Structure 1
Amino acid sequence: MRVNEDAHKMVCYQSLLIVEDDPRQSCILFAYFQSMRVEDVVIVGSINEARKALASKGNSVDLIICSADHKKLTEHLDKTDYQGSFILLNENPDSIKNMPNWTDVKFDFEGTLKKPLTKRILDEKFSLEKVLQTVSKNNFESNITAADLNNAILNDEIVTLYQPRLDLKTGQIIGAKAHIRWHSPEKGFVSPIDFLPVAEKTGLIFDLTFSTIANIAKDIKNGGQYWLGLKIAISLPLAMLKNPHLADALKEHMNLVGIACSSISLEIDGDITNKIGSSLDLCLQKLADAGFELILKNVCSRTVDFKIIEALPFTELNIDRSVVNNILTDVRSQESIRTIIALARKIGLRVAAEGIETQEIFDLVKEMGANYAQGYFISKPLPAAYITHTLGSVAA
């Protein structure tokens, strides 16, 4: 057995087993290796689950990262034909480097990682800087890198704006969609079109989402009575839904920032209905059980199967803005919206129309029976203080 603290100068893992009972740490690890396109990442929370996972794979895993009761697992591994690598997660790695059992095991002990994990700690261990540099969709001239975005999150350069959602029956503001914007001291305004692909590609989407929720919590608290009962919607990429510990991590974070899960609606792209499987089904159900409202967005009648939707814990459908925008000139768009509203009502779901830009479109979707409306005709995305002022004026 060799002990090598400077191992892994290149990441070449095809399969990983993560044994960690802290949902937040699990999410960080999952996102990090997902950004490296390691598709076979299994996360478990106990040694018994780890043994079962290893048995199902014939003890064939490239790397095990473990924090929970590592001694029992190493003893188990030593009795098998495990030939992969092992990394220990610990609050204080220096205190366990010289533990006697590491010199006796047959597999490769590749050192430690100190918790709480950060991107920098993982980068130092796995030397991913070269891989993560200059990731940008379609080679945008903005040349956004993972380091740029990570620093922006840490320095609170990502701001949250809110686009009001209107109840078409009462005319009242019942919530808002959270939009994030990056105001960089060096680059100026950076469009989400540029930085969101970087976030999803590198795994920083988890950090970005947690940071956005923290900003929302602060704005809800500052808004006082005027924000009571408002539902704030945020987008949740499919990449995050692949993490089996997502619901636990989000629930824990909501407790940390001090707001109820029911304050947040999670918008998930309608394309998910083409990717539904047991793991995604379970993740969606866990999110719903935690108290989050689930919204299926970008829906048009040709792209979703309502039989699948009915079996999932969604409460609302958002009609794709491209369909809404064409409603005045395209008969097929009108038919599509009427079909969506009728089928949604049949299975007990509310319907929102996004991208409303004119009075004519507003009136027509209201006449068709949509429940909610959102778009520049109602309001552009606004800072939290403007939302509070608007709600206060209405209350007065």
Structure 2
Amino acid sequence: MSENQNRNFVVSQENWSLHRKGYQDQQRHMDKVKDAIKNNLPDLISEESIIMSNGREVIKIPIRSLDEYKIRYNYGKSKHVGQGQGDSKVGDVVARDGKPGDQAAGQGKKAGDQPGNDYYEAEVSIEEVQNVLFKELELPNLEKKEMAEITVEKIEFNDIRKKGLMGNIDKKRTILTAIKRNAIKGKAEISPIHNDDLRFKTWDEVIKPETRAVVLAMMDTSGSMGNFEKFCARSFFFWMTRFLRTKYQSVEIEFIAHHTEAKVVTEEEFFTKGESGGTICSSAYSKALELVDQKYNPVRYNIYPVHFSDGENFSTDNEKCLKLVNELMDISSMFGYGEVNPNNRYSSLMSTFKKIDNPKFRHYIIRQKKDVYEALKSFFQKQESIV
């Protein structure tokens, strides 16, 4: 090739924005999953397979398919061609699909003559469900208590040093140090990075006092509690227990089962063991007060009694229940009473509790499985905490 011969070069530049398509589709899918979980929460948290599997189940939820942009032909009209004026812009409506309501996809029991939306089932873990659910919940009226005896060791990264473990290297500060050093020499570049440029995060173990709380979970296990009543009560306490252990480090849970007598039981017994006999709800409240007196000083603990029953209580016991509930509220941050009543029958216990005029008292009636979700929100509704 002669020196005078013209040399031709081709400069190409790849559009790297195209490589983001996969990531964008993945994000769209994850957003769809989150929306599907949120829209199906009442059904998901009352799913029997989840409760029986102790939270290790993977479940499926319907998710609408993601549509790609494409031209769709209107086959309802006769074939024709058209010509534009050349002044159209993004966002202009180029056509409308006939009159609204002329044609539609089938819904419910009626048949339609148009295609519907495509749905598919996506598998989600219990952790994904609870992440959405627990964002809506918190312990109400949680206060910092005086004379807190519990302290928690926490690690805080609070210093930067020139020596340390490579696993704790601070990449941002290391690069900035290298750029500054190279800039002094006239080249503000990252490379080369010297050992003197390395910066490492270091930590200290700090002792912090923790606000403590105890939840007194009380459940009616008498003969009047049928399969539906027991399932709804256990579903509520299942999610309540996971919520407390996920969001709070220093919350204790005491499990109290009762019929005519109340006793403290293990968590496994609480969720699996059935009983029979009559119902005296005041026995559970007396046991709760006994536990508080023995182990949980209200000066040091936020106390949350939560009781579930079917409302079938021994009639002469209702006034005693009212008295004990008022005593519990005097030392508690919140008292919750849930009643499983699918047939809307008269409940003497709920009628008695309606006399209570105290903002600490919260109650909810469960009539169907979906109501477990609403009961959780009613008792643990997110609000401004008192600190």
How high is the TM-score relative to the length of structure 1?
0.26
Q: Greater helix share, 1 or 2?
A: 1
Q: Which has the higher contact order (CA 8 A, sep 6+)?
A: 2
How high is the TM-score relative to the length of structure 2?
0.27
